[in-house]
């Protein structure tokens, strides 16, 4: 039986391990990600709208929620997506200006607060809106068709 020098065994083992690791590294190398491309000619407009009884969205749970996408065409789970998108476009995306040009209705002074929220993106700009209305009548008049669901 022939004896092998200990250093030769160590070198052979090290070479085998290095080769195996290199082979694994080459096969498991991640592919480079392609740069993100715009998928639309329009700035995104996608919102989640909620309604809850109470004075603050932080202290209540939404009772109803819908999605509203306005570009390239009105869609989402909002029951009147086309009207809601038209009202938002007319107000320039300003939720506080939705009541302008709305219906003329007289509401009672009953205090049963309803809080509405809008979160998402409107024409490429981040939206985080919250407003509390005194009651359902005021929400209907001042929230227009955007919060009619």
Say what the pLDDT of residue 144 is. Answer: 78
Say what the pLDDT of residue 143 is. Answer: 76
Q: In what order do the strands lie in the sheet with 46-53?
A: 64-69, 46-53, 114-122, 125-133
Domain extent, residue 50, equals 46-147
80, part of any domain: yes
22, part of any domain: no
Say what the pLDDT of residue 98 is. Answer: 84
94, part of any domain: yes
132, part of any domain: yes
* Number of domains comprising the chain: 1
Say what the pLDDT of residue 76 is. Answer: 95
- pLDDT single digits (tens) 71-92: 888 999 999 999 999 999 999 9
pTM for the predicted model, two decimal places: 0.69
Which portions of the chain are predicted below pLDDT 70? 1-42, 100-103
Two structure tokens written together for 96: 């506080």
7, part of any domain: no
15, part of any domain: no
5, part of any domain: no
120, part of any domain: yes
CATH code where residue 74 lies: 3.30.350.10
Q: Give the DSSP per-residue string, 76-111.
A: SS-TTHHHHHHHHHHTTT-GGGTTTT----------
Q: Is residue 142 classed as helix, strand or coil in its secondary structure?
A: helix
Say what the pLDDT of residue 80 is. Answer: 94
């Amino acid at each position: 039986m022939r004896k092998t020098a200990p250093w030769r065994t160590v070198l052979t083992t090290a070479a085998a391990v290095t080769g195996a690791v290199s082979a694994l590294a080459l096969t498991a190398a991640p592919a480079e990600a392609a740069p993100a491309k715009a998928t639309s000619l329009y700035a995104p407009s996608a919102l989640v709208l909620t309604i809850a009884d109470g004075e603050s969205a932080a202290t209540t749970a939404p009772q109803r929620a819908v999605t509203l996408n306005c570009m390239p065409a009105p869609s989402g789970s909002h029951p009147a997506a086309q009207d809601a998108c038209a009202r938002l476009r007319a107000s320039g995306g300003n939720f506080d200006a939705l009541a302008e040009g709305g219906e003329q209705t007289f509401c009672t002074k009953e205090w049963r607060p309803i809080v509405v929220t809008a979160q998402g993106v409107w024409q490429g700009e981040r939206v985080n809106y919250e407003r509390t209305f005194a009651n359902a009548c005021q929400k209907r008049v001042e929230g227009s068709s955007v919060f009619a669901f």
